[in-house]
Amino acid sequence: MTPSNRKTILELVRVVDIALLFSCLGVAYALESHHKVLDLLNSLETHHPIQVFLATFLLALAWQGTLLSNGFYRSRRLEGYFKQSLDICFACSVCALFTLAWLWLISTPFKHNIVGWGIISILFGILSFTVLMSTRLAGRAIMHALRSHGRNLRNILIVGTNHRSDRFAQDIGLHPEWGYRVQGFIDEQRWHDRTSDFGPLLGGFEAIPAVLRTLSVDEVIITLPLASFYQQIAEIVATCRHHGIAVHSIGTFFDQEESKRTTYLTGPLGAITLHDESWDARASMIKRVADIAISAIVLIILAPVLLMIAVLIKLTSEGPVFFAQTRLGYGKRPFQILKFRTMVQNAEKLIAQVEHLNETQGPTFKLKNDPRITTFGKFLRKTSLDELPQLINVLVGDMSLVGPRPLPLRDYQGFSQDWHRRRFSVKPGITCLWQVMGRSTIGFDEWMALDMRYIDQWSVWLDIKILLQTIPAVFRGSGAV
C-alpha cells in the first residue's frame, strides 16, 4: 500500500469516526428517554440555524482533535491492545465532556436539565468506546491478516549490524503482522553475527547509492550512534533525499552499552525522523478519491469507444488487443501497465533493429516514424487513445491520473543521476507537466526536472490545472510519438 493510499484510508476513517460519534449521540438520547429527542429538536428550533451549525461544527472539531491527540490516526503496528484501549477510553471520556458542553450550548434557555445531560454524556461515552474499540479491533485483525500474507508491506533497509539492529530485526521477524520486510543490512562488516539470520549484508556505507538504485526501499532505519557516525549518517540522509526515501533513527546519540532491553520503536517507526517528505494527507485523500471516481466514470462512458477500438485493432493487425508491459511504479515496485496495442505483435523483440534510430537524448527510446507501428496504431498514438486502458491501472491503484510517467525497466537502467530517481517517491500518472509542455519535443533532463517540479509543487489545484491542459494538448497531438 502506498503512502497516498494509506493517507486516503486514514482520512476516510476520520470521516467515518465522526459519523459514528454522532450516531452514538443520537442513540444516547434515545436510550436516556425518547422524549428527550423531541426536547432537543424543540430546542434547536429556538436557535438560529447558524448558531446550531457553528456549535455542532465546533463539537465535531473538538472530537476530531481529541482523537488525533490520542494517536487514533498514527500507525499502531507495534503497539499492544492494552495501550490502544487506554487511549480510546481516555479519548471517549474527553469527547463525552465536550458533548456535555455542546448540550448546554444548544439547549433551550431556562430549561436546563443537568442530570439528563450527564446521563446522556455518560451513555455517549460508553457507546462511543464500544463502537470505536470494536472498529479498531476489527481493523487491526484485518490488517494483521493482510500483512501476515505479504500485503501492505513496508520495505526497509537497516544501517548497522549491532545489538540494536539485531533486536529490531528479530522483533520484525517474530511479528509478520507489523508489515515490515527487511531488504538487508548496510555496514562495513557484520559486528553482530545474528543479523545474518534476518537479511544479507549488502555492503558498506559506500554501497548505499547502488542499493537504493536496485532495491525497492520505502524507509531506511539507522541503528548506529548518531554522534559517532554523524558524517556517514549525513551522507545517507542526503542520498535518501535524492531518492525521496524516508530516514528514521532508532540509534542512541552516543556509543554506549545498554543495561536492559528497551523498546526502540514508538509510534509509526523510529524515535527520530531524520528525513521524511510526505504529501498533505487531506489533499492526498482528495487525489485518490478523484482518481477512483473519474477513472470509473470515464471507463463507463467510453465503454462503447473502447469496444470499437478493440474491434478495429483485431481487424487491422494480428495479435492481442492490449499491450501489457512491466513498468516501475511507486517505490520502484513493478506493475503491468495496460495500453491498446499500436505495434506489431513482436515489437519488443525487434527493438534492437531500430534502437540506433532513437530520436531522444538520455535512456528513453522515442522514434516518430517507428516501422513497428501499425497503420491504425499511428492514429491511436496521434490521438493518445492508446493510453485509455491505463484508466484501469488508475482504478486499481497502480497509477494516478496525474503523476510522473511510469518508465520501462530498460529506461530506468539507463538513469545516470540519483535525483532522477526521486520520481519514484510518488505514484506514476497518465499525464503530467511533461505531457502538457511538449512531450517528446522535451529533452530527458528537462523532462526529469519537470517531474521534480511537479513533486515539489504538488497540490490538488495543480492536478486540476494539468488535467484541463491535457485535453487541448491531446487534440493538438503535440509531441505525440
Asked whether residue 333 falls in the same domain as residue 402, the answer is yes
Same-domain pairing of 321 and 237: no
pLDDT, average across residues 312-323: 91
358 and 382 in a single domain? The answer is: yes
The stretch 438-449 carries a mean pLDDT of: 76
pLDDT of 310 over the 90 cut = yes
β-strands 180-186, 154-159 pairing: parallel
Judgement on whether residues 270 and 296 belong to the same structural domain of the protein: no
pTM: 0.58
Q: How confident is the model at residue 10 (pLDDT cuts 50, 70, 90)?
A: low
Cβ contact 251:160 at 8 Å: yes
Q: Are residue 133 and residue 160 in the same domain, yes or no? A: no
Task: State the pLDDT at residue 358.
Answer: 61
Question: Is residue 380 over pLDDT 60?
Answer: yes
- 481 part of a folded domain: no
Structure confidence at residue 137 (pLDDT): 84
Contact 178, 145 (CB under 8 A): no
Q: What pLDDT score was predicted for residue 81?
A: 74
Q: In whole angstroms, how far apart are CA 409 and each of 45, 270, 327?
A: 65, 32, 6
C-beta neighbour count of 380 within 10 angstroms: 22
Do 27 and 143 belong to one domain? yes
- Split at pLDDT 50, 70, 90, the class of 171 is confident
The pLDDT assigned to 456 comes to 83
Burial class (CB in 10 A: 0-12, 13-18, 19+), 35: exposed
List the single range of 270-274, 289-293, 384-388 with lowest mean pLDDT. 270-274
At 261, the pLDDT band (50, 70, 90 cuts) reads very low
Please provide residue 28's backbone torsions phi and psi, each rounded to the nearest 5 degrees: -60, -40
Q: Please, are residues 366 and 359 in contact by the beta-carbon 8 Å criterion?
A: yes
What's the confidence (pLDDT) of residue 253?
59
Do the beta carbons of residue 161 and residue 191 sit within 8 Å? yes
390-399 average pLDDT score = 92
Fill in the amino acid letter for 125: G
- CB-based contact 440:476 (threshold 8 Å): no
pLDDT number for residue 402: 93
**What's the whole-number mean pLDDT along residues 422-427?**
85
254 shares its domain with 296: no
Mean pLDDT of 174-183: 81
Q: What is the pLDDT of residues 84-131, one digit of tens each?
A: 888 889 999 999 999 988 887 776 544 456 777 788 889 999 999 999
Q: What is the mean pLDDT of the chain?
A: 79
Alpha carbons 87 and 401: distance in angstroms, whole number: 38
Question: Which three cell numbers, joined as nine digits, stand for 323?
Answer: 499491450
pLDDT surpassing 90 at residue 355:
no
Of 242, 275, 308, which one is at a domain's C-terminal end? 275
Name the residue range of residue 237's domain: 154-275
* Pair 295, 394: CB distance under 8 Å: yes
Same domain, 305 and 445: yes
How far does Cα 37 stand from its chain's mean position?
42
**One domain, residues 12 and 116:** yes
Q: Cα separation of 45 and 53, whole Å?
A: 12
Choose one of 275, 290, 315: the last residue of a domain.
275
Q: What is the pLDDT of residue 78?
A: 59
Are residues 171 and 233 part of one domain? yes
400-409 average pLDDT score: 90
Answer yes or no: is 47 within a domain: yes
CA distance 94 to 83: 17
- The number of folded domains in the chain is 3
Please identify which residue in the block is written with the cell numbers 425518547.
34
Vertex 155 angle, CA 328 and 179, to 5° = 125
**What percent of the chain is helix, strand and coil (3-state, nearest 5)?**
60, 10, 30
Q: Tell me, what's the pLDDT at 120?
A: 84
* CB neighbour list of residue 348: distance below 8 Å, 6 or more residues apart: 325
Which of 275, 293, 322 is the last residue in one of the domains? 275
Residue percentage of the chain with pLDDT more than 90: 19
DSSP string, 304-336: HHHHHHHHHHHHHSSS-SEEEEEEE-GGG-EEE
Say if CB 460 and CB 286 are below 8 A apart.
yes
Measure the CA–CA gap between 463 and 458, rounded to whole angstroms.
7
pLDDT tens digits along 40-92: 555 554 555 677 778 888 888 888 888 888 778 776 665 667 778 888 899 99
Q: Which CATH number covers residue 166?
A: 3.40.50.720
Q: What local confidence, expressed as pLDDT, does residue 458 receive?
A: 83
* 111-129 core/surface letters (b: 16 or more CB in 10 A; e: else): eeeeebbebbbbbbbebbb
Same-domain pairing of 161 and 229:
yes
What distance in Å separates the CA atoms of residue 347 and residue 94, rounded to the nearest whole number?
65
Are 349 and 269 contained in the same domain?
no
* pLDDT, average across residues 201-220: 90
User: Is 368's pLDDT higher than 90?
Assistant: no
Residue 252 has pLDDT above 90, yes or no: no
